[in-house]
Amino acid sequence: MPDLNDLIAIDPDIRGGKPCIRGTRITVYDLLEYLAGGMSEAEILADFPSLRPEHLRAALMFAAQRERRLATAAPDEAAA
């Protein structure tokens, strides 16, 4: 799998700085909500032809890494 930085970008001028699939305005959070809401990978890819399966895996990995950082951070760091 490519480096997450190759697939996900955070730009303060795009979607308020939310992490997005690089080159799109599709946020990681949007993709997570679609998956949590029951959309299949195939349905998401059909709705967003610019996405590839590795984008969905990158969104999941990004969320998992962020959760891990929050879970292991000291209480003061987690609030920041």
The per-residue pLDDT for range 27-75, each reduced to its tens digit, is 999 999 999 999 999 999 999 999 999 999 999 999 999 888 888 876 6
- The answer to whether position 80 is within a domain reads no
How many domains are contained in the chain? Answer: 1
Any domain includes 70: yes
Domain that holds residue 59: 4-75
Q: Which amino acid makes up residue 23? A: G
Following CA atoms 46, 18, 72, 4 in sequence, which dihedral angle do they give, to the nearest 10 degrees?
Answer: 50
Domain-located, residue 13:
yes
CA gyration radius, the chain:
13
Q: Name the E strands within 1-80.
A: 8-9, 20-21
CATH code at position 55: 1.10.10.10
pTM of the model: 0.81
